[in-house]
Structure 1
């Protein structure tokens, strides 16, 4: 007969019992059958069978595991009258868990452990006295740990409950544990009985906290394997141009909606040019006949292919990526020093898009180009992705700033490639997503050995091997000379260091700086290297710093060292502003403010709970292989996140809204995809196409969905069903970005050949370009997956009053100085708006000129023309795309 529980006991995740310590929510999270509506639970036998079935290993990329609830949830007490029945139930649950008590004398003693000790320690104790934290030096995860005790002595004395400190704490007689409140007497008495019985403990058992990842978490859409859904079979599919349209039309029909008509050829041409190159079309606008024949694909596809092959394509696509990786040409903070080599990364990104570098390769180069292809200069430039953090040159807390830098890289990597908001998990398990604090530090461990480099060698493995072998010969022959030179030169150089100097650092950091690099630990070398950015040394002034006798010795040592120059290998070419590892071994990754063992590199537990299996790399690279391991995992076709994330970003670029609206957060605080099957279908095709972004753009832009008109009005039905156009019943018009506005002005005034596109402007974090900043250019301090689209009065004021805008209008007025107003209008409309001027346009222009206040009576007045052209440049038709 089923065991009956009060409804209050089985109500909701987080309900728990202190009498037996076994959380009610585990019927759900451990795969056990859910309670009946009246509070009834199935029999022990049914639970055992179901638990055995659920314990079978999961297949695929997503790995199953046990769960626990957030410790902040309310605790409820099971009535004492149920204890006898619970003893039977949890005795069986102990068997389900597969534990065998090695030193138990009877089933009753096993029950004492399973009913009272195990659940109490797990629920109330090992959060603060476990593997990652041991308050008071006390660990409670094993029998040996209890016997060893902590700072106050052994926690238990088997056979003697009254002398056991843990029982004193549970009784609130000395320490008061747990801090949340005293446990009920049955639990405390059960603990006492267990100690009196000799403290029987299952053989080799180590208690671990139950993870908070539930089956509901595992069912969240982004953690499911990428599917290859069947393309919907829709009736009346004459509107559809490719498979994308069938997914969209199927969803529209479900909502009793229909797609909009196709935009005109002129509108599509302008839309396509800005979408792929960020520039207005320079070809003549289509004729009326071409507009009438806009259903033909030939002209549209030819334009699309031409634009994908244009160098302007990579320049435009790069700006979306630079927002994501927070690229800038300066450090940020108050000083905001310049980064003279950062532009190499910008150019690398542009090059990569133009070459249609496979996205998986693009990702791998940025995370670990130095490990996967050390002789490829482009791959090494890719590692500048790891250098775009903000940095304060005069920050004396070098160690604290270094941890901030590594954490920022960790958060950015999770945002950019995985759309996982790990930032919250830096301090605690995420409150909404199945992301644990341990997950944050496991991902951070991939970057813990990172070392910024200004002198990274560009050489393949064989060349590096030859160089290192020869260098080791020179180092062995000159060891004693170089050591003595270090003893003479370094103290003098540091004592006379300029700029910030070294004396303001802590003694510990000063010691790291003063040590020879070969004598430092990996961590000491990281800190000393970062600190060295704050001071300058002047070896040319050593003769002034040293007394005569010491300088004589130094010169003699220098002469001796020069005698071994024949052993020294020829220097390898180097590259600045890149990153590698500090060596083949990593400093430990620790959770702050916790007495923890080091955290191994790993992935989010919900995707893979095991530590990462680090790939071996050639020893000559003097690197850990951690980042190349992470890159391989991220770009694995079985990873359910990576392809979805980038496909969604490209969709967002073209429609203004991703299929999943929160492009950098696929978690519960984000928005699930509006068309999940379409997202997965596109992700599958993207991988099959060799991770080609150009093919992805082409597939999306060839669809009828993309070619819809944006001018369809919203009627009452649509306003009720889909006012935000989530189901894509029309195209969304959009305002040009600041860069596109800038570039369109240069194209209009025919100055693009002599002036650079906005993508090449220097990005100074604390002093952004005024035009770009007014139109929502980000500060590039944090990764930004989607720019804000504000409409503010400063935007209009800047367009009206900015001298740069007026200069463009003057340049145009000079070009049309000899033309009549009608001739000006006929020529400027195709250039600015990609359409022919109408009679109404001519009449409006003539009226503007006639009404313009001017001291001249000349109908061809240049001042009036300039004002007219300036109005055209500021018009909505100029800065919006239909």
Structure 2
């Protein structure tokens, strides 16, 4: 019987020792004492509205259908009225909390009187009750929701520690820290900072050459030089595209039962190109929403509108075409709300929004902008995206990218063969559809007729704008629109820091989190608009700050008082995105193929996953693994089948791209450890790097030191190096030739003939140990 090689036999005391100094800090739950002093003046926006929204608006908010006792607390005019059921009593009496029924009810101990009612399982804290009392005493003054007010310019505040700030961001951050009695961290080491910067800007680890150059460069401008270098790399566009794919719900399959193959990857190539050439955010969004409606649009601008076609599409027979058409329009409406406005529009599809001032009428007015689109059915019986399209379909909403296009205006599209490349794009119907409120969101339950418009609570639609998707794009970038710039700068902030200024990046409404630094958010939003919506400039501004450069070390005081890092008193230690973990493994081993763009690829995957979860007749019913260079492409290019996403990606919290997602969760599960221990890509990378190092004319210590630097992006400590050397010698002495041959067979990358297989196998397990350190998959 053939002996089974235990590739994970190194797990034990060694890993325990290596992990000791780095594990367990990121997700430890600790109690957090209240940092905020009781305010001198209570703000409705920042102190009272969140309490009412969480505890009261479900029954006493914007949704008329759910409203109880005729009481509405979200509007000043309604909240001051006498109660319908008791005309002599008022919910709020400005200046008089003890005559205000709201205050009396939240203090009541009578189950029949107390609010929120006991069966709601909601209860106000003593601090919240005192805030409401103080607010009523001060006059119970209402304010419009902060996010619906245009950003206001704030001068960077004065701070006590004038030596710490580098740019304007730092003044806002430090001011809040000083107010609560905390201090920023010391700067990170040059090695740790370079690793963080490289992953944040390119999704790749730094090379040895970059490390050596940066560590030895004493020039005061060395850091900025490195920032500029990384922003100029093509890998920057690929890194930013990972974030945008989640928002745009990009996938390589249609998503419903058959879940067949689709070719939208040329649109992904455009996104990479747009980020790399630093297309302004205004043009980046306008082209994606309405590039086809621009005057004399180029083929590039039309290709950009593939953004609107990335939603799930049915290819099944015997379905109601209109029902699915409405679902596509709904998806586009919801995506604009969540991705571009940070508002949960979808809550108003069936009824008035229960918390935000978005009516069902508002929803279908925005819906109307997308309701006049040519929705030619994408059926496998009608179009084969690999073979091309019949003459009757050779018009909107598809474009063909020809070889001439790929060598000219669309030279950024990685079209490697001469087969037809068809991409779904946008196109308007010749005649206008009528638009109606859909009662309860049912596709054929028509209510009142509506016309393209936008919610007045955000910003009314300028009558000079065309009532088309292009007009909607103009409205988004109106200087008075309070959300577009705020929402984007906040998303970029969260991409870099791991926590948003508004941590609910897809919800700036009343149920979203309040901004931790509202003045900074407004300053960034205005600065971004005034500087041409320049994305690279924004990214550089953030990573150049002292706030970004802090170390990850967390003192016990900060653990207790700022455990969620709301005040950015230290750098985050989140694990890398799923795609970046793959990039790290391939890049550090020398396997990464740096090719930009092109078709999605199918790397190693456990057998039978697609076959067990796919209906018969699908073009993707069987998983056919790629070979050669396609096995070693970036994580961005991993084939995304919606119904059966790549397991190694999903386990590390990647989106399945079913719908727009503005953020990913960060979890730690045993499955993640099993991926790093057993994934063929990780084991193959360990083998290939080991083989290359064994062939180098260097000592064992130098080989291990080099592998450590490639994977963890720093020099090992003396104790770490001693442990790894000892482990290597132990494995070299115990491994048999048969075991070494079997280990050398992992993966398809060719094994060099003239190499000592036992030495390779021993070093391979040392390298695999390094890949399994938490530090290797952490950004900092």
Q: TM-score, normalised by structure 1?
A: 0.61
Task: Report how far residue 216 of structure 1 moved.
Answer: 8.2
- 2:51 corresponds in structure 1 to none
1:259 matched to which residue of 2?
Answer: 184
> In the alignment, does 2:587 pair up with 1:689?
no
Aligned counterpart in structure 2 of residue 655 of structure 1, from 497, 507, 524:
497
Q: 1:79 to 1:655 in 2, by over 3 A?
A: closer
Residue of structure 2 aligned with 1:833, choices 709, 712, 719: 712
SS at match of 2:721: helix
Instruction: Say if 2:437 is the partner of 1:582.
Output: no
Q: Give the RMSD, CA atoms, in angstroms.
A: 3.4
* Greater alpha carbon shift after TM alignment, 280-289 vs 387-396: 280-289
- Higher share in helix: 1
State whether structure 2 residue 476 is matched by structure 1 residue 597. no
Post-superposition offset of 1:690? 0.2
User: Matched residues in 1 for 2:502 and 2:654: separation?
Assistant: 23
Alignment pair present for 1:375 and 2:297: yes
Does 1:76 pair with 2:85? yes
Give the 3 Å change call, closer, same or farther, for CA 654–747 of structure 1 in structure 2. Answer: same
The question of whether the paired residues in 2 share the 8 Å contact of 1:420 and 1:667 is answered with: yes
The C-alpha deviation readout for 1:468-523, integer Å capped at 9, x for no partner, is xxxxxxxxxxxxxxxxxxxxxxxxxxxxx99599xxxxxxxxxxxxxx99xxxxxx
Q: Give 1:449 shift.
A: 0.2
**How far did 1:374 drift?**
4.2
* Distance change (3 Å), C-alpha of 1:426 and 1:238: same
Structure-1 separation of matches of 2:310 and 2:157: 44
Q: Supply the distance in 1 between the matched residues of 2:77 and 2:333 (Cα, whole angstroms).
A: 33
Task: Within 5 Å, give how 1:272-311 maps onto structure 2.
Answer: 272-284=197-209, 290=215, 297-311=220-234
- Please report how far the alpha carbon of residue 668 of structure 1 lies from its aligned counterpart in structure 2 after TM superposition: 1.5
**Residue 413 of structure 1: aligned partner:** 336
**Where does residue 449 of structure 1 map in the other structure?**
372
Distance 2:380 2:566 in 1: 60
The structure-2 alpha-carbon separation of the partners of 1:14 and 1:796, relative to structure 1 and needing over 3 Å to count, comes to closer
1:867 aligns with 2:765: yes
Asked if the contact 2:306–2:423 (Cα under 8 Å) also holds between the matched residues in 1, the reply is no
* Residue 707 (1) aligns with residue 552 (2): no
Deviation at 1:317, TM superposition (A): 0.4
Is 1:855 aligned to residue 697 of structure 2?
Answer: no
Q: Could you tell me how far apart the structure 2 residues matched to 1:790 and 1:596 are?
A: 44
Cα offset, 1:283, TM superposition: 3.9
Deviates more, 1:677-686 or 1:443-452: 443-452
Shift of 1:25: 6.3
Out of 128, 138, 146, the position equivalent to 1:221 is: 146
- Matching residue of 2:348: 425
Counting only pairs closer than 5 Å after superposition, residues 11-50 of structure 1 correspond to structure 2 as: 29=75, 34=80
1:690-738 CA distance string (max 9 Å, x none): 00010000111110000001013232xx344322110111111121111
Q: Residues 217 and 693 (structure 1 numbering): CA distance in 2 closer, same or farther, change over 3 Å?
A: farther
Distance 1:373 1:266 in 2: 50
Is the Cα contact below 8 Å between 1:813 and 1:862 reproduced in 2?
A: yes
Shift of 1:826: 2.4
Partner of 1:246: 171
Q: CA separation in 1, counterparts of 2:348 and 2:143?
A: 18
Indicate the SS of the match to 1:643: helix
Q: Match of 1:861, SS?
A: helix
State the Cα distance separating 1:79 from its structure 2 match. 7.8
Task: Say which SS state the counterpart of residue 238 (structure 2) adopts.
Answer: helix
Q: Does 1:390 align with 2:269?
A: no
In the alignment, what sits opposite 1:880? 778
Alignment CA distance shift 1:499-1:261 (3 Å): closer
**CA shift digits 1:824-878 (9 cap, x unpaired):** 1122122222222343233111221233342369996322111111111222221
Q: Aligned residue for 2:678? A: 801
Output the CA distance in 2 between the equivalents of 1:244 and 1:323. Answer: 27
User: Matched residues in 2 for 1:282 and 1:28: separation?
Assistant: 55
Question: Structure 2 length normalisation: TM-score?
Answer: 0.68
Cα 1:29–1:653 shift into 2, 3 Å: closer
2:71 and 2:78 in contact (8 A); partners too: no
Looking at structure 1, the residues matched to 643 and 478 of structure 2 have their Cα atoms a distance apart, in angstroms, of 38
Deviations 1:772-795 (A, max 9, x none): 121111110111111111111111
Conservation of the 8 A alpha-carbon contact between 2:72 and 2:79: no
Instruction: Give CA deviations for 1:799-843 in whole Å, capped at 9, x if unaligned.
Output: 111222111111112112245421211221222222223432331
Whether 2:278 is the aligned partner of 1:351: answer: no
| Structure 1 pair 288–769 and aligned structure 2 pair: CA distance change class (3 A) | closer
Q: In 2, Cα distance between the equivalents of 1:629 and 1:499?
A: 36
Matched residue SS, 2:374: strand
| Partner SS state of residue 439, structure 1 | helix
Question: Hey, what's the Cα distance between the residues in 2 that align with 1:216 and 1:761?
Answer: 53
User: Counterparts of 2:465 and 2:422 in 1: how far apart (Å)?
Assistant: 25
CA separation in 2, counterparts of 1:27 and 1:392? 43
Q: Over residues 522-562 of structure 1, what are the superposed CA-to-partner deviations in whole Å (9 max), with x where a residue is unaligned?
A: xxx99xx99xxxxxxxxxxxxxxxxxxxxxxxxxxxxxxxx
In 2, Cα distance between equivalents of 1:591 and 1:327: 27
* Distance change >3 Å, CA 218–CA 763, structure 1 → 2: farther
1:124-182 CA deviation, whole Å, 9 max, x = no partner? xxxxxxxxxxxxxxxxxxxxxxxxxxxxxxxxxxxxxxxxxxxxxxxxxxxxxxxxxxx
Task: Write the mapping of 1:130-209 to structure 2, written as runs, cut at 5 A.
Answer: none
Partner of 1:607, secondary structure, is coil
What CA distance in whole angstroms lies between the structure 2 residues aligned with 1:605 and 1:289?
52
Structure 1 counterpart SS, 2:438: coil
For residues 761 and 253 of structure 1, the distance between their equivalents in structure 2, rounded to whole angstroms, comes to 45
* 1:366 alignment partner in structure 2: 288
Q: Residue in 2 aligned with 1:733? A: 573
- 8 Å CA contact 2:465, 2:474 repeated in 1: no
Summarize the Cα distance change of 1:832–1:217 in structure 2 as closer, same or farther, 3 Å threshold: farther
8 Å Cα contact 1:850-1:859 kept in structure 2: no
User: Is residue 176 of structure 2 the alignment partner of residue 237 of structure 1?
Assistant: no
CA contact (8 A) 2:252 2:640 kept: yes
Cα distance in 2 for partners of 1:333, 1:297 equals 55
Residues 236, 839 of structure 1: alpha-carbon distance in 2 compared, 3 angstrom cutoff: closer
Higher Cα Rg, which structure: 1
Q: Closer, same or farther in 2 for the Cα pair 1:337/1:286, shift >3 Å?
A: closer
Compute the displacement of 1:263 (Å).
0.5
Counterpart-to-counterpart distance in 2, 1:303 and 1:500: 51
Structure 2 counterpart SS, 1:237: coil
State how far apart, in whole Å, the 1-side matches of 2:343 and 2:243 are. Answer: 18
1:88-128 C-alpha deviation (Å, 9 max, x unpaired): xxxxxxxxxxxxxxxxxxxxxxxxxxxxxxxxxxxxxxxxx
Q: 1:826 to 1:285 in 2, by over 3 A?
A: farther
- Corresponding residue number in structure 2 for 1:61: none
Aligned partners of 1:26, 1:866: CA distance in 2, in Å? 67
3-state SS, counterpart of residue 580 of structure 1 = coil
Decide whether aligned partners of structure 1 residues 409 and 581 sit closer, same or farther in structure 2, where only a CA change above 3 A counts: same
Q: Which residue of 1 aligns with 2:13?
A: none
The match for 2:463 among 613, 616, 623 is: 613
Query: What are structure 2's unaligned runs of at least 5 residues?
Result: 1-55, 62-68, 90-139, 384-391, 399-419, 594-628, 741-755
Separation (CA, whole Å) in 2 of partners of 1:498 and 1:348 = 25
Q: What are the equivalent positions in structure 2 for 1:554-565 lying under 5 Å apart?
A: none
> Are 2:344 and 2:506, in contact at CA under 8 Å, matched by a contact in 1?
yes
2:47 aligns with none
Instruction: Tell me the distance in 2 between the aligned counterparts of 1:583 and 1:574.
Output: 26
Match in the other structure for 1:764: 641
SS of structure 1 residue aligned to 2:492:
helix
Change (3 A) 1:842 1:634: same
1:430-480 per-residue CA deviation (whole Å, 9 max, x = no partner) reads 11111111111011011110114699xxxxxxxxxxxxxxxxxxxxxxxxx
2:366, 2:693 → 1: CA distance? 60
Conserved? CA contact 1:373–1:379, under 8 Å:
no
